[in-house]
Structure 1
């Protein structure tokens, strides 16, 4: 029985225009795919640095890669999310990030670059603290009706099925 102040949405017997929310498993899968892709990119770029920067020592060449690797997560996620509704991991898992309207209806459109950047930065800040990381993701288990993590709530977004 739901005892929260916000009632759970009713499950209609007929199909609805309302998109289905992405499951926690799909969201985790998308995150792990993105981590794997970023790890492969990082290893590849680091390995190729001495070849790309031929006139430098191997150590100097690899140090040239550091700024790219530091900027990559802050460009990759926000740009992909703003333009295509999600990162490569989300696209593979057939989920997307959308704006949430009032009262808790999906607008269905992609979030802006600035909202996507804020979403990513808030997630990164919470990841720096294990307590906030757990709280951020656990929040979606009891949040209704949109099952939002805290980083989704901050920018008024939700993750839905494509």
Structure 2
């Protein structure tokens, strides 16, 4: 089936995810990321406080390890799950991210690039909020800024 005249090739309008559902999926993913990070931080902090005295610098490697864990979870949770078919939040909400032209799922490199665009845009004050809300008015694929940068779209899981 060919797209209507003047409409770029990509998912049909009925396949696109509603902005509210996208935000719910993102919220669920943030909860999961928070639990993964807290799952390492809380037991380690309890252990550190029981093992080291104030002013003892032997705990520095543990703290650096926790920061490394936080960075790994933050950077790789979404790209890894996205490359496997979608984040947990998107799966719960019945969504997935696809390449605009092909409708295929993202590979790890593509998912990592999308996530890095999301992080970069989010670091600019106010721009992160505008980016997230831009899926409300963006046409024709309801893309946020990071979707446009990676040429992706968020669709309902069962549209093909």
Within a 5 Å distance, the mapping from 1:39-58 to structure 2 comes to: 39-49=34-44, 57=52
The equivalent of 2:89 in structure 1 is: 89
Alignment partners' CA distance in 1, 2:104 and 2:130: 27
Sort the Cα spacing of 1:140 and 1:50 in 2 relative to 1 into closer, same or farther, 3 A.
closer
Sort the Cα spacing of 1:99 and 1:30 in 2 relative to 1 into closer, same or farther, 3 A.
same
Alignment partners' CA distance in 2, 1:39 and 1:57: 26
Q: TM-score, normalised by structure 1?
A: 0.76
- 2:29 touches 2:89 (CA, 8 Å); kept in 1? yes
Q: Deviations over 1:23-60 (max 9, x none)?
A: 1111111111111111112112112226889xx74944
2:70 aligned with 1:69: yes
Structure 1 stretches lacking a partner, 5+ long: 1-5, 9-16, 102-106
Alignment partners' CA distance in 1, 2:22 and 2:124: 20
- 1:99 touches 1:156 (CA, 8 Å); kept in 2? yes
2:140 aligned with 1:140: no
Alignment partners' CA distance in 2, 1:137 and 1:72: 21
Structure 2 stretches lacking a partner, 5+ long: 1-5, 54-58
Higher relative contact order (CA 8 A, sep 6+): 2
Within a 5 Å distance, the mapping from 1:111-130 to structure 2 comes to: 111-130=106-125
* Local SS of the residue matching 1:148: coil
> Shift of the alpha carbon at 1:76?
0.8
Q: TM-score, normalised by structure 2?
A: 0.77
> Shift of the alpha carbon at 1:19?
5.7
Number of residue pairs aligned between Structure 1 and Structure 2? 144
